Amino acid sequence: MAHRHGPWRAAELDDLHDGTPVRAMASEVGYYKKSCPRVEAIVRDEVKKFVYKNAGIGAGLIRMFFHDCFVQGCDGSVLLDPTSANPQPEKLSPPNFPSLRGFEVIDAAKDAVEKACPGVVSCADIVAFAGRDAAYFLSRLTVKINMPAGRRDGRISNFTEALANLPPPFFNITQLIASFAAKGLDTEDMVVLSGAHTIGVSHCSSFVSDRLAVPSDINAALASVLRRQCPANPTPANDPTVNQDVVTPNALDNQYYKNVLTHKVLFTSDAALLTTPATTQMVLDNANIRGLWEDKFKKSMVKMGAIGVKTGYQGEIRRNCRVVNRS
């Protein structure tokens, strides 16, 4: 049985490519060291190619890991394309479409891994490695995460489950804490993982109505800039993107927390971190104590990567990350 978080162990029997049943091993760092020893280097090389061309793709990969794990657990379900049998998978749900990006990186990494070790490495683990590696490159090589592996790929991907499980940008602090708690993550994990908003971009539609169209605590100068960049009523045809961190937009660093303190953040959910004494103190510590946030981010990423993991017969090793295997 897979635990919701923490190290996961599989009691189920697993099977190798030749059909020989073997006992599934416990998840661990270096899970593939015998079955596919170069997998982590292969994924890192692919991520590096894309991230050094476009830092935003790295932000997308970190977000993809989060969005995968919060729906059906960390099982690669966010990667599945629509089919006649399942026309509305997670990736087409409003929290993911059209904003989620980086799918082409996963495809490239999977292709390269399959050439080296056919049928061994799950898409779910590639998503976890890619999120880990994106954090490493965007943090100027300072955030080094030891990411356990051993996840299986899920076969279910549902549009409505993404809506139900992914916290939207207008959540207040109570809703945010409850959303993360439902996944086995505590309030500090929520505050720490929110720090990923230090990179990447947001569509105007994610914040205009509740941050610019009504009185809010957003910094007046930032609000003025955003009103020039964003239409008053964004539509799918007219929904530009803006940087989430206006100070260091392409660096994974603790600037986000400084921006929260100066009210230079886009989302209601960002501003919400200052609405309780406990979360305010966490913001202050992450903003002011050198290296603290980076260390906590590593731990929270690993903890998030253990949500609802499928092992053994609960999942499969997809041949193509966009479709379930044909039985």
Judged by phi (left if over 0) then psi (alpha if -120 to 50, else beta), residue 145 lies in beta
C-alpha–C-alpha distance, residues 151 and 73, integer Å:
10
Q: At what angle do helices 292-304 and 123-138 cross, to 10 degrees?
A: 170
C-alpha–C-alpha distance, residues 320 and 301, integer Å:
25
For the chain, the 3-state helix, strand and coil shares in percent, each to the nearest 5, are 45, 5, 45
Show Cβ contacts of residue 18 under 8 Å, excluding neighbours closer than 6 positions. Answer: none
Alpha-carbon dihedral 288, 294, 296, 299, rounded to 10 degrees: 180
Cis peptide before 98 (omega within 30 of 0): yes
- Considering only CA atoms, which of 17, 304, 34 is closest in space to residue 25? 34
Structure tokens, 213 = 């169209």
Q: How many CA atoms lie within 13 A of 224 on its CB side?
A: 3
- Considering only CA atoms, which of 70, 206, 209 is closest in space to residue 131? 70
- Strand 21-23, strand 13-15: pairing: antiparallel
Q: Catalytic residue positions?
A: 67
C-alpha–C-alpha distance, residues 156 and 315, integer Å:
10
